[in-house]
Structure 1
Amino acid sequence: MDCLLHPTYFPNVAHFVAAINSDTVYLEFCDNYQKQSYRNRTEIYGANGKLALTVPVRYSQKNRQLYKDVKIANEDNWQLQHLKSLESAYSMSPFFEFYIDDLMPLFQTQFDYILDLNLKCIEILVDSLQMDISISKTTHFEKEPKSKKDCRSLVHRNFEAKNLEYYTQVFSEKHGFISNLSILDLLFNEGPNAELYLMRQNLELC
């Protein structure tokens, strides 16, 4: 069955579990932007536990904006900060050096719109994971999709993906296993085994 997902910044593991179990992944292009979601935020495993990386955007709650029209506040030098955070968190992981060069365009290219950044994230990650999935974009907004599994709820920060299988994380001996972080956490720790991990997960995600 097809699924409908919001394109997010370095999507979490649950997003990719939904994607790998779908015939075609439809990315939502026609919704209004909402704050306090994973649209411009991802979570990684730092030395002190869960660490949020947020892309600053120019957005006003007073006037509704389409997701595709929301711009990034690039004067904040956020890309360098995020790259340093990833290096600090994962430089000792088994596969960091293997994948980081593929990710560098995301930190060296200035993106004007958050949606464009997120689409490039997904493109690079799908290639790194060697996932054979079909991706399309929505052309109109459907509040209740009739022919797709609606997985847009995964964009909410309070969504809990329960029963994700344990895998070894860099700081797991210090803080224990932290579930459903950015797919980068799985990729840097599991490398080529990440796709098999995603395929093993049997979750009711949406």
Structure 2
Amino acid sequence: MIENGAVLPMFYLPPVDYFTKLNAFKPDVVFEKEEHFPKQTYRNRAVIYSPDGRQTLTVPIIKGSKNHTITRDVKISYDFRWQRLHWMSLQTCYRRSAYFEYYEDDFAPFYQKQPVFLFDYNQELLQLLLRLLKIKAELKFTDTYEAAYPNLTDLRKAFSAKNTVNAEQKAYFQVFEERRGFLENLSIVDLLFNQGPQAVNYL
């Protein structure tokens, strides 16, 4: 078992602070796969910078039975065209950024294919993000659910989608900052589209 590492949740286009911690603990990072799926978290939502400020993009999930669903078994709903909405939002918000066109072709397929499970979708996106950020991290997963990890830093509840935690991030250029100022701890794509290859140095 890994010691002095961290256990992280699997998020959709995770916030910048997530990658700061992932980068700090790599290669000793384990991703939680067996927990009961908690609602209203970054596991199925991301926050980007729109002309009106923070905009939340939510991946809809199929309502499970009354029993709690294990994270790896949560299925994505395609009852409405959320992928089109997300992709249009990303284009609208970041078309003017320095690097959106540079990465556009990497992200576009994720808004066309329709994977069944949220965890698989998030995992593929994470692998892409790690590659684009040039962070070398092997993806290891939990085999069973453990309430506590004595030898690991437990970050499963460290990131709140409801409360904006002051992560004390230094500012970088954002497309709409002249309207709302610097917004911290947005989705990693905000950093990537604005900073490009320099994003990893920021982390």
**TM-score in terms of structure 2 length:** 0.93
2:77 matches 1:73? yes
Is 1:6 equivalent to 2:6 in the alignment? Answer: no
Percent identity between the two aligned chains: 36
Among 143, 146, 160, the residue aligned to 2:147: 143
What secondary structure, in the 3-state scheme, does the structure 1 residue paired with 2:90 have? Answer: helix
Deviates more, 1:147-156 or 1:127-136: 147-156
| Residue 19 (structure 1) aligns with | 22
- Distance in 2 (CA, whole Å) between partners of 1:109 and 1:25 is 28
**Contact kept in structure 2, 1:14 and 1:154, CA below 8 Å:** no
**Structure 2, unaligned stretches of length 5 or more?**
none
Q: In structure 2, which of residues 185, 191, 196 is the aligned counterpart of residue 191 of structure 1?
A: 196
Instruction: Tell me the matched-pair count.
Output: 198
Relative to 1, partners in 2 of residues 1:153 and 1:161: Cα closer, same or farther, differing over 3 Å?
farther
SS of 2:79's equivalent in the other structure is helix
Whether 1:32 and 2:36 are equivalent positions in the alignment is yes
Q: Deviations over 1:16-65 (max 9, x none)?
A: 00110013221100100111111100000001100000001012473211
Q: Is the 8 A contact 2:7 2:154 kept in 1?
A: yes
CA separation in 1, counterparts of 2:55 and 2:111? 18
Assess, with a 3 A threshold, how the Cα gap between structure 1 residues 142 and 161 changes in structure 2: closer, same or farther.
farther
Distance 2:33 2:71 in 1: 7
Instruction: Note the C-alpha offset of 1:135.
Output: 2.2
- Structure 1 residue matching 2:110: 3-state secondary structure: helix
Structure 1 residues without counterparts, runs of 5 or longer: 199-206
The answer to whether 1:116 aligns with 2:116 is no
Q: Secondary structure at the match of 1:3?
A: strand
Partner Cα distance (1:182, 1:21) in 2: 18
Give 3-state SS (helix, strand or coil) of 1:187's partner. helix
Report which stretch shifted further, 41-50 or 138-147: 138-147
Normalising to structure 1: TM-score of the pair? 0.92
For the pair 1:178 / 2:183, whether they are aligned, the reply is: yes
Structure 2 equivalent of residue 62 of structure 1: 66
Whether contact under 8 Å (2:17, 2:167) holds in the other structure is: no
Divergent runs of 4+, >3 A: none
Q: CA RMSD in A?
A: 1.3
Change (3 A) 1:135 1:159: farther
Q: 1:110-135 CA deviation, whole Å, 9 max, x = no partner?
A: 11111111101101100111112232
Aligned to 1:164: 169
CA change 1:76–1:113 in 2 (3 A) is: same
Alignment-mate amino acid for residue 138 of structure 2: S
